[in-house]
Structure 1
Amino acid sequence: MMRKTTTEQTISVQEAIESRRSIRKFIQQPIDQQHLQNIFELVQLSPSAWNLQPWRFHVVTDVNLKKKLEEAAYGQKQVTSAPAVIVVTSDMEDVLTNIGDTVHPGLSEEQKQEEVANLSAFFNGMSVEDRGQWGLNQTNIAFGILMTAVQGYGYASNPMLGFDQDKVRDLLNLPKYVQFAGILPIGKPDDEGYPHHRFTLEKIVKFH
């Protein structure tokens, strides 16, 4: 699929990674809808095993819903401070229901049918919980790319896992089997965040 070029000012991947901080206070300014569209077009390209793409993104901008999300997130103010909050989920049951949509169109009909049969047999042999966890592992790849794309378009973010999942499921009317990769408040930063404090490369990288 050809993607349109954009004249929007973005920064390099290196700059996005180096400049990213976890921001908890945002300028009260709506996010450009075209920027959101561009960000998700980049995230849409995230890789996944067998191209199953289990990630689903719920973009919350409604003020009242954000207040309820803040309550579900134990009162963390960045949820209502941010002009948009992205709830990142994984839905492997939807993937299985529509497994044929993930198969590459370049395959022959026989190859497509074989791929669908193999994938269906593999995942139907797992419990709902186990394949949900499998899909969550894939979705975390897209979560990282999402944060980088957000930063690249000049916005800040703050990945969150501190929230009551059952309450968020109820607020967004999500099935029980849906898994959460996290919540990502995004917007123009109104503070600088903390400087990076990371382990040394010797601590985290081993060459064999």
Structure 2
Amino acid sequence: MNAKAAPLSLPEIDVEEFRKVVRSRRSVRRFTDEPIPDAVLEDCLELATLAPNSSNLQPWEFFVVRTPELRGKLAQACLGQNAATTAPVLIAIVARPDTWRKHARLALENWPKEEKLPSIVEKYYKKIAPIHYNQGPLGLLGVAKKTAGLVVGLSRPVPRGPYSVNEMKVWATKSTALAAENLMLALRAHGYDSCPMEGFDECRVRKLLNLPRKGLVTMVLAAGRRAENGVYNRQYRFDQETLIHYL
């Protein structure tokens, strides 16, 4: 979408402060029992929802668990990891590949009142998105779109997918992972830490939190104040020449 946005007044940025946030973020395995203040947690969650995402459809939900009894059960569903059992807050970060239709409507309803809705934006959410993201009964519409894309793609660039329910899951998870990273950096900026956990029993997590049937638990995030023994080893990364390619 090429809607013309109003010019924004950009704030001054201190890159060294950002560098400190990124470099000091670690996957913390043990936390103190100090609670995260409500205002801090709410601010971090708001910053998480400002993450870039596909078509601004925001295909995510956050389930914040602070009550000791439920948190204890969730920690066990996370295989009893130290991060899960010691954190004062656990957050199930859930991708929603099934909310695109509702969120397309919300995108129009929540358009800033002081700005005129561009016709191209209205067309996208009302006409294009319902075709692009809809896979149809038994995925047949997705198959038809993939076939058409293969043919048209012979002569010009075209979007390649999502063409199936599984590709919609990948689509939603990519945006949700961006929001999770925002959340982790926001916590670090406030002086708190986190540990993203993929080791959990998803069936038990779903049942404990009564999650939406089509929601995908991207990760369970442990959050709190870092304990002195919370980081197990020095951070290291592979040589950049292995991973970064300049063409």
TM-score (norm 1): 0.87
Secondary structure of 2:220 counterpart: strand
Counterparts of 1:114 and 1:204 in 2: how far apart (Å)? 36
Counterparts of 1:70 and 1:162 in 2: how far apart (Å)? 11
Counterparts of 2:121 and 2:42 in 1: how far apart (Å)? 33
Structure 2 counterpart of 1:43: 48
Counterparts of 1:60 and 1:158 in 2: how far apart (Å)? 15
Picking from 196, 206, 212, the partner of 1:169 is 206
Cα distance, 1:185 vs structure 2: 0.4
Letter of the aligned partner of 2:126 in structure 1?
Answer: V
Provide, for residues 152-173 of structure 1, a one-character-per-residue CA deviation record: whole Å limited to 9, x for no partner. 1100111110001111111111
Which 5+ residue runs of structure 1 have no aligned equivalent? 1-10
Counterparts of 1:16 and 1:118 in 2: how far apart (Å)? 39
2:244 is aligned with 1:205? yes
Provide, for residues 101-121 of structure 1, a one-character-per-residue CA deviation record: whole Å limited to 9, x for no partner. 124724246851552221111
Provide, for residues 159-204 of structure 1, a one-character-per-residue CA deviation record: whole Å limited to 9, x for no partner. 1100011111111111231112201101001125121111111111
Counterparts of 1:176 and 1:39 in 2: how far apart (Å)? 26
Structure 2 counterpart of 1:195: 234
Picking from 119, 123, 126, the partner of 1:116 is 126
Contact persistence 1:129–1:177 (CA under 8 A): no
Letter of the aligned partner of 2:97 in structure 1?
Answer: M
Provide, for residues 133-161 of structure 1, a one-character-per-residue CA deviation record: whole Å limited to 9, x for no partner. 21111111111111111111100111110
Structure 2 counterpart of 1:5: none
Picking from 81, 93, 96, the partner of 1:91 is 96
Once the two structures are superposed, the pairs formed by residues 109-188 of structure 1 within 5 Å of their partners are 111-125=121-135, 126=142, 127-188=164-225
Cα distance, 1:97 vs structure 2: 2.6
Counterparts of 1:114 and 1:40 in 2: how far apart (Å)? 28
Cα distance, 1:15 vs structure 2: 0.7
Secondary structure of 1:88 counterpart: strand
Contact persistence 1:82–1:186 (CA under 8 A): yes
Structure 1 counterpart of 2:155: none
Cα distance, 1:77 vs structure 2: 2.7
Mark the CA change 1:162 to 1:192 in structure 2 (over 3 Å): closer, same or farther: closer
**% same residue:** 31
Cα distance, 1:48 vs structure 2: 0.8
Two-structure CA RMSD over aligned residues (Å): 1.9
Which 5+ residue runs of structure 2 have no aligned equivalent? 1-15, 136-141, 143-163
Cα distance, 1:41 vs structure 2: 2.0
Contact persistence 2:48–2:181 (CA under 8 A): no
Secondary structure of 1:12 counterpart: helix
Counterparts of 1:60 and 1:28 in 2: how far apart (Å)? 15
